[in-house]
Amino acid sequence: MSTLESRNTFIEEFNNLEDPRVSRKRLYPIVEIIFLVICANICGAESYRDYERFGNSKLSTLRLKLPFTNGIPSKSTLARVLRLINPEVLKSCFMGWMKSLYVGISEDIIPIDGKTLRGSHDSENKAIHMVSAYSCQTHLVIGQQKVEDKSNEITAIPKLLDTIDIKGSTVTIDAMGTQKEIAKKIIDKQGDYILALKGNHKNLSEDIKLFLDTEQAKPNNGNLSVFHDIDKGHGRIEQRTCYVTDQIDWLADKSKWSGLRSIVMIESKRTIKNNTSPERRYYLTSKEADPEFLNHAVRSHWSIENKLHWILDVSMSEDASRVRKDHAPENSAMLRHIVLNMLQQTKKGMKDISIKGLRKLAGWCEATLMKIVSASF
C-alpha cells in the first residue's frame, strides 16, 4: 500500500539549490532555469536551443508559476549553468522532492539496474553510466547514482541504497550486484533482496544449480515448492516455472550472505513460431520460499528496462542526446528522471495515453502542461 503526503513542492526544494555562478552575473534565478528546462523537456525539447525557443514561445505560460523578470536565458547560458551545477547538490534536491511523492510504501518491488548514456562520450570522456532504482508500485524513479570513472556498479549500488527507503520492500538486482556487502546493506536497511546468480560466483552458482536441478528432476520435484505461469501475446507463448526451497543448511556460504533464506530457479520456455528456447536462471533471496511471489518479483525486475530505460531511449531520446561537457550529462539525466516522474504521476489519472502521447499533448495544450507541473510545483 502506498500513501502520498504533501511536503515540500518542487520550487520550495529547488530554491535551495546552490547557484555556482558569480552573484553579479545571475540575471536568471537558477530555479527558473531548472523550471524552464523541465517544462521544455516535458514538451519534447532535446537541446539547449530547443529550451531557449520553447521558453520564448511559452513565456506567458511559464510566468504563471515563476516571474521570469529578465525573460528567457540564451542557449549558452543554459548550457553553462547545466555544466556547472554540482550533481550531488542537484541529486539532494531531487531526493528531497521525491520524499513528497514516495512516502510510506510497503511491500514494493524495487529493481536496481544501470544504463549507459551512449551519446555522452567524446574524444576526451567516456560515456557516463547511471544506476537507477525504480518503484514497481508507483512507476517512479526513486533514486539514481552515477558510476564513477574506473569503477562499476558494485561501488555505485551501495551509495544508491544509502539514499532510498527500502524498508519492507524487495530489491531485485542482476548478477553484477550479487555481492555479500550489498546483501548486508539491504538487510541492514530492513529490506529484502533477490539477487541473480551467474559466473561471478562460480562455485556458489554451480552448487546451487546442481542442487536445484537434481531436486527438480525427482518425482514431484523433490522438496521444491513450485509455481507455474503462462503468458501469451505478441505472437509468442512463454511458460515460466518457479522452483524454490528454504532447505539450505547444506550451503557452505550460507552464513556469509546476510539474511539468506531461500534459493530459487526460474525455468522459462519461450515459443515463437513453433521454435522453443528454454532457459534456467538462479537466485539468492532473503524472502521465504513463496514461489508465486518470487516468480512475480523476478519478472517485475524487467520493469526497469521496459518502463524506464526503454521510455528514456524511445520516448525521450536519451541515447541520442549530445550533451557532453562537465556535469551536464549527469544533470540532464537527473532532469529527465524528474520529467518522467511528473509524467507518470499525471498519466495515472488519464486513460489510453502513453508517455510519448502525453508529451505531445503538453506541447499542444498549455492547460495539460500546467496540469503536469502543478502537481509538483
Residue 73: which of 103, 46, 34, 112 has the closest Cα? 34
> Residue 4 pLDDT more than 60?
no
Reference 245, options 194, 268, 220, 211; nearest CA is 211
Confidence of residue 147 (pLDDT cuts 50, 70, 90): confident
> Which pLDDT tens digit goes with each residue over 236-273?
788 999 999 999 999 988 999 999 999 999 999 887 77
Name the 3-class secondary structure at 337. Answer: helix
Query: What per-residue confidence (pLDDT) applies to 120?
Result: 57
Write the single-letter amino acid at 195: L
Q: What is the pLDDT of residues 293-345, one digit of tens each?
A: 999 999 999 889 888 888 888 888 776 666 656 788 889 889 999 999 999 98
Using only C-alpha atoms, the chain has a radius of gyration, in whole angstroms, of: 23
User: Which of 76, 86, 125 is closest to 325 using CA atoms?
Assistant: 125
State the burial class of residue 227 (Cβ atoms within 10 Å of its Cβ: 0-12, 13-18, 19+).
middle
DSSP state, 2? -
Bigger pLDDT: 185 vs 16? 185
pLDDT band with cut points at 50, 70 and 90 for residue 287: very high
Measured CA distances, 241 to 281, 282, 298 (Å): 11, 12, 12
> pLDDT confidence of 2, banded at 50, 70, 90?
very low
Strands 129-135 and 140-146: antiparallel
Q: 269-279 burial, b for 16+ CB within 10 Å, e for fewer?
A: eeeeeeeeeee
Contacts of 43-52 with C-beta under 8 Å, sequence gap 24+, read 43/359, 43/362, 43/363, 43/369, 44/359, 44/360, 44/363, 46/317, 46/320, 46/321, 47/75, 47/322, 48/75, 48/76, 48/78, 48/79, 48/82, 49/75, 51/75, 51/78, 52/78
Burial readout 189-201 (b: 16 or more C-beta within 10 A, e: otherwise): eebbbbbbbeeeb
Return the amino acid letter for 21. R
- What's the CA gap between 363 and 39, in Å, rounded? 9
pTM for the predicted model, two decimal places: 0.88
pLDDT confidence of residue 43? 95
Question: How confident is residue 191, by pLDDT bands cut at 50, 70 and 90?
Answer: very high
Residue 335 CA, distance from chain mean position: 13
Average pLDDT of every residue of the chain: 88
The letter for the amino acid at 296 is H
Give the confidence band of 146 by pLDDT, cuts at 50, 70, 90: confident
